[in-house]
Amino acid sequence: MDDYVTRFNRTGRALGLGPLMEHEVEDKRGAGMAGEAALLRRACPDGALCVVLDERGAVMDSPGFAARLAGWRDQGVGPVAFFIGGADGLAEDLRGEATLALSFGAMVWPHALVRVMLAEQLYRAASILAGSPYHRA
């Protein structure tokens, strides 16, 4: 995870993307998805565009994801917050508030792996936008 965050921040800075920061929340009160949603909302920067990672979301290829990020950047969108739920997923109301629901496929992934996959895809997107040979399609 740290490697991809470092790579993204290095590559993305010149492109007007980033920095990538990770904030993990823990529902210590056991309030379930609703409690987790409240914690995620509090951790989200004011005015951020919200993207939820959800198996019911849109599936896109890496160049399409890169284009989406570039489009948001070019439109002057502020920070983008990516929400990854716990074992039970994300609360329905939080999913409904998101600008985009994004899926890494029909399979369900543990949230720790999704974090790494997202960090890698963010780096891949930055490398695509930079014209780097990292993405070989």
Look at the alpha carbons of 65, 126, 19, 115 in this order and tell me if their dihedral is positive or negative: positive
Q: 7 in a domain, yes or no?
A: yes
Task: Domain of residue 7: give its range.
Answer: 2-130
Cα 51–chain centre separation: 6
Q: 97 in a domain, yes or no?
A: yes
- Residue 100 phi, psi (nearest 5): -145, 135
Q: 136 in a domain, yes or no?
A: no
Q: 6 in a domain, yes or no?
A: yes
CATH of the domain at 72: 3.40.1280.10
Q: 137 in a domain, yes or no?
A: no
- Smallest Cα–Cα separation from 86: which of 38, 25, 22? 25
Residue range 6-35: mean pLDDT, rounded: 91
pLDDT, tens only, 85-115: 988 889 999 999 999 999 999 998 998 999 9
Could you tell me how many helices (H) and strands (E) the chain has, helices first?
A: 5, 3
pLDDT, tens only, 41-83: 999 999 999 999 999 999 999 999 999 999 999 999 999 999 9
**48 touches 79 (CB < 8 A):** yes
Confidence of residue 27 (pLDDT cuts 50, 70, 90): confident
